Chain A
């Protein structure tokens, strides 16, 4: 069965501090992983996907198959990064997504 684990419900950092939001997954096949973000009172939106190997808004995430992890990182947090972050695993076949429980990032001034 597929599972996505985000161990931290809340991560609070100060502006300018590094950020790492943890995500671990379990999946028997070849995973496709995503990070979605939900800002206050806004809809869920895609932040980045592992196959793109891109950096969006300063965030990066590397897929580590050995550790079955896909942690989201940013070297210097900004106040506008405060949001709910969800890690998601792509399910083959129907191409559906399995979401983790989410981590709320609070960036304090």
Chain B
């Protein structure tokens, strides 16, 4: 079946530094990838939609200069949290979609970011 991986699974960084999270579709080509943020005991909040070779579309209220998304290939999207602050600490989840007309998304295992 369709598998999506994320790396790293958890990361601790200091305030002011940047951290990159990778999302890979392992056995299919993902025309679209999505990045979500999940706070403890809360739902997934869509941050942005990323299409291969084009700029990401950010949801309202999400700072595009802070959360840089790159979708350079059909199997890889990256989320870079720039100048991280403790309030950026969260669980970040990516998902990937194979076809343009499909809603079905395959989710990664998530990355836990802790900013100290």
* A residues with CB within 8 A of B: 32, 34, 42-46, 49, 86, 90, 94-102
In the complex formed, the residue of B with least CB distance to A89 is B103
A-B contact count (CB 8 A): 47
Are A43 and B32 CB-contacts (below 8 A) given A86-B44, A95-B102, A96-B46? no
Are A45 and B103 CB-contacts (below 8 A) given A86-B43, A96-B34? no
* B residues with CB within 8 A of A: 4, 32, 34, 42-46, 49, 57, 93, 95, 97, 100-105, 107-110
In the complex formed, the residue of A with least CB distance to B48 is A96
In the complex formed, the residue of B with least CB distance to A4 is B43
Bound CA span A42–B4, Å: 13
Tell me which residues across on chain B come within 8 A of A44, comparing CB atoms.
44, 93, 95, 107
Q: Identify 16 new A-B residue pairs, CB closer than 8 A, beyond the known A97-B34, A99-B43, A99-B46.
A: A32-B103, A42-B109, A43-B4, A43-B93, A43-B107, A43-B108, A43-B110, A44-B95, A45-B107, A49-B104, A86-B44, A94-B32, A94-B49, A95-B32, A96-B46, A102-B42
